[in-house]
Each structure stands twice: as structure tokens, then as C-alpha cells.
Chain A
Amino acid sequence: MSLNVDNVFVIDVGGFEVWITETIISTWFIMLIIIIFAIIARIKLSRFRVIPTGFQNVVEFIVESFDKFSVNTLGKNLSYISPWYFTVFAFILLSSLLSIFGLRAPTADFATTFALALASFALMIFMGLRHRKGKYLKSFFEPHFMFFPLNLIGELAKPVSLSFRLFGNVLSGTIILTLYYALTPIFVQFGIPALLHAFFDVLFGALQTYIFVIISLMYVKGAAE
């Protein structure tokens, strides 16, 4: 780990240099984990029974608890978007947990968090247009059409604050751990960093994942109702 996002290698795609950074490699790891888990769950789905046992218990627990969470936050008729946020939840949580193993978390790169926040923003606008149609566009001009610039800035600040919050939290943990590993002698680098990792990666990572998802859901709900 280091403060900068290091470049691992460069590939050439039709004259364009594509930089494969640490972030992209960590993202590939997480994609691999999620895809393999999804494929195993899909294969085992045909053998699921009414009374769950073992692996089926785990899958049903995860899906049901997230479903309950999204129905509680969004309400019944909007909760059909919860699969997307379940994927976001799994991605951010796994990326925070990945830095336990010494890899750089993808969310410590502003590009990743801004992409996630932009997706949330696009989904928010889409849901607003789909459920309220013209009324959503009209809500930009309320209470008076003079307020349009203020409302526009308020809306545009949403993805920025959403992405900076996650990025700043994960980056601060990364910086503190990097400083610890760089400044201390080798004999205190076993065991003691586990506490720091537990605090900055597991606790803050889980908390920030929850906050990112619940604030995105609240934005979607605010736009669609």
C-alpha cells in the first residue's frame, strides 16, 4: 500500500494507452469473488428446498435482510431497484475488506466512488422522471422559478458529497495505515496493525457502506415521491 495509486502495467488499445492501476486489479478481484459467489448460488438454486439448510440458509439470510432493509427505507412500490443497491453494497463492503489483505481498496480511488455516485445520481433522475414525470421537472422550479439555479446546484452537489464522503473515509484509513507501516520498526508490525485494520477497514468500511446505500436510497425516494 502507498499513498499514490500505482500503475502496474500499460496496455495499448488501438493507439490509446490504457493504464491498468492497482485500483483496477483490486476491482477485478472483487468482481471475481462476487461473480463466483453468484454462479455458485445460481447453480445451487435448482436444488433449493422449502426448508433451507447450509449454503441456502446463508443466501436466503443475506437476500431477505437486504430486502427488508430496502422495503423499510423505500416502501413497497419502489423497492424493485434494490438488486442494484445490493450489488453496490456487496462491492463497497468487499472493497473495504480487501485492504485487510494488503491490497489497495478500490474505493480509495476517487474514480471508483465518483462512478458509483454518478450511477446513483442517474438512477435518482430516472426514478423521478418515471414515477412523477412532469412533476419532477416542475419541482426544480419550486417555490418560484427564480429558485431554479439554487435547486440545480443542490441537486448537483448530491453526487459530489456522496462520493467525497466515501472516498475521504476510506482514504483516511489507508493513509493512517500506510504511515503506520512506513514509520514503525519491523517488530511492531505483527499483531498490532490488526487493531487498526479492524477499526479503519472493518468498522468504518461497514458503516460507510451502510451510509452510502441508505443515503442513495433516500435520494431516490425523495426524487420518486
Chain B
Amino acid sequence: METLGLVVAAAHIAAAISLLNGLLTTFGQAKIAAQAIESIARQPEAADSIRSTMFVGLAMAETSGIYGLLIAIIMLFANPLINIVVSYL
């Protein structure tokens, strides 16, 4: 029973750590948005193409954040380690 508790606690800590990559993802997205606003202010006639490129860039930068989120969700709700530990007990 203690082993199971240890594994569950470790999984929750791992989920929290994997969500920390939101910090860097947000920083990158903020940089993309700031640059896009700067270029739109300098060249308002190119706003449409800059906006669509910005959305693609935001999606690309968001991917790593989504991976972290999925790892956290797997750790919390579909953890494979817990099944292994239960089969050993």
C-alpha cells in the first residue's frame, strides 16, 4: 500500500512539473504576439497576412505546452505505472 501511495504522489508531482512548461510556452507566444503587433503598427496594409502568419506561429509554439498538458492528463487519469504497481501487490 505504501508503494502505491508513493507512486500516486510521484505521478501528481510529475504532472505539476510537466505543466511548468506553460511558463516558457507563454513567454514564446507573448514574443510572437508582440512582434506581430509591432509589424502591424509599422505596416498596417499587411495586417491580414501578418495576422494569419501569427496564428500559425502561435499554434506551433503552443504545441509544446499541449504536450505538457497531455503528459499531465495521462499522469493523473490514465497512469500506466499504477497498473504495474497494482499487479505487483
Contacts and interface: CB of A to CB of B under 8 A. Distances in A.
B56 A175 contact: no
Contacts of A171: 73
Contacts of B55: 207, 210-211, 214
Nearest to B55: A211
B66 A168 contact: yes
Interface string A192-225: 0000000000000001101100110010000000
Contact of A214 (B52, B62, B63, B73): B52
Contacts of B66: 164-165, 168-169
A53 B77 CA distance: 52
A210 B62 CA distance: 14
A156 to B, nearest CB: 15
Nearest to A218: B56
B69 A168 contact: yes
B27 interface: no
B10 interface: no
Contacts, number: 32
A59 interface: no
B59 interface: yes
B56 A215 contact: yes
A211 B60 CA distance: 9
Interface of A: 3, 161, 164-165, 167-169, 171-172, 175, 207-208, 210-211, 214-215, 218
Given A168-B69, A169-B62, 13 more contacts: A3-B77, A161-B63, A164-B63, A164-B66, A164-B67, A165-B59, A172-B69, A175-B73, A211-B55, A214-B55, A214-B56, A215-B56, A215-B59
Which 6 pairs, one residue from A and one from B, show the smallest C-beta to C-beta distance?
A168-B66, A211-B59, A168-B69, A168-B70, A161-B63, A165-B66
19 contacts: A161-B63, A165-B59, A165-B62, A167-B70, A168-B66, A168-B67, A168-B70, A169-B66, A171-B73, A172-B69, A207-B55, A211-B55, A211-B56, A211-B59, A214-B52, A214-B55, A214-B56, A215-B59, A218-B56
